Amino acid sequence: MTQEEVQNGCAAAKQVTFSAVKPQLFVEAPKANDAVLFYKAAFGAEEVSRTVHPKRKAEQESPLVLVAELKLGSSVILVSDLVDDSSAPVKTVGTGFVMCLETEDVKAAVEKAVTAGAVSEGELAEGEGEGLAAKLKDPYGFVWTVCSPIKKSADAVEA
Amino acid sequence: MTQEEVQNGCAAAKQVTFSAVKPQLFVEAPKANDAVLFYKAAFGAEEVSRTVHPKRKAEQESPLVLVAELKLGSSVILVSDLVDDSSAPVKTVGTGFVMCLETEDVKAAVEKAVTAGAVSEGELAEGEGEGLAAKLKDPYGFVWTVCSPIKKSADAVEA
């Protein structure tokens, strides 16, 4: 056992720290580039980096996107082309997931996204404990909720 | 038109800023509490806030989770019980998505998560342009990749 393990009393208790969680969205190849352009137009995302697929075919007009990092507020999302040989994610994931976009101006954000091609699903709703919220579906099948920052309630934290 | 709109030349160009993107994972009710405990044990997540479902039934032992905020590194994820009357997300989302967890110690992170109940899928792989990476499936059906921070390549940014 290392000194660290001895101090912890157990190897399994080793301290692991994560710098960040980045949701990675896979879109049908070769639409990742289009998706990046869409997220820029709809949500004002900034492209931080892009790594292209090394196995590019000579006849391809543009290389496939292995991973593009997009900055959205203080968060980063990843967009990738789903290719046959990629370590493909499952098509159905858990019970469901949405990407929550927090903003002080929900209405303006929805208008901008819809102008860029997102489809608004349902009316703006005053979510319980969540402030104003709206649901959008993007052209790549992902669901986004645009909402006011979550209000912390004093009695909300437990377990 | 407001002064701001005149300055922009167009109402649609109104500046919209997002504070953050938070992936929201829906789990089959009433398992959200279990999922929160799992993410604490597996990834060291810290619960920041919890809002419980207001329509709790008297006979329920514990209230359903409307939304629990978990801090993971510099990021926040949301975990919610999927209930009949929730603004339910779609079951199948886009082509697929995974949650990328960045850490300097991929091996230790995977060991800790597996000890907590995650299932490792495949071997540790040296991802192209992504450093060391491993794939995990959690007990709630979500797929996580644990990987070294993405290396920026000088020629990677385009479009």
pLDDT in tens, B96-122: 888 999 999 999 999 999 999 999 987
CB contact under 8 A, B22 and A75: yes
Cβ(A105)–Cβ(A123) below 8 Å: no
CB contact under 8 A, A18 and B87: no
Closest CA relative to residue A16, chosen from B144, B40, B119, B37: B40
- Is the pLDDT score of A53 beyond 60? yes
Cβ(B92)–Cβ(B108) below 8 Å: no
pTM of the model: 0.81
- The number of angstroms, rounded, from the C-alpha of B22 to the middle of its chain's C-alpha atoms is 7
CA distance to partner chain A, nearest, from residue B101 (Å)? 5
> What's the sign of the alpha-carbon dihedral B45, A151, B63, B26?
negative
Q: Which two tokens stand for residue A131?
A: 């402030």
- Is the pLDDT score of A122 beyond 90? no
Residue in B closest to A53 by C-alpha: B128
CB contact under 8 A, B91 and A92: yes
Q: Which of A17-26, A140-149, B33-42, B93-102 has the highest mean pLDDT?
A: B33-42
- Is the pLDDT score of A90 beyond 60? no
- Is the pLDDT score of B10 beyond 90? no
Banded pLDDT at B54 (limits 50, 70, 90): confident
Per residue, the 3-state secondary structure of A22-66, as one string, reads: EEEEEEECCCHHHHHHHHHHHHCCEEEEEEECCCCCCCCCCCCEE
Select the residue from B47, B98, B120 to test the A interface by mutation, using most A Cβ atoms within 10 A. Answer: B98
CB contact under 8 A, B23 and A18: no
DSSP code, position A19:
S
Cβ(A79)–Cβ(A36) below 8 Å: yes
By mean pLDDT, which of A12-21, B13-22, B31-40, B87-96 is the weakest? B87-96
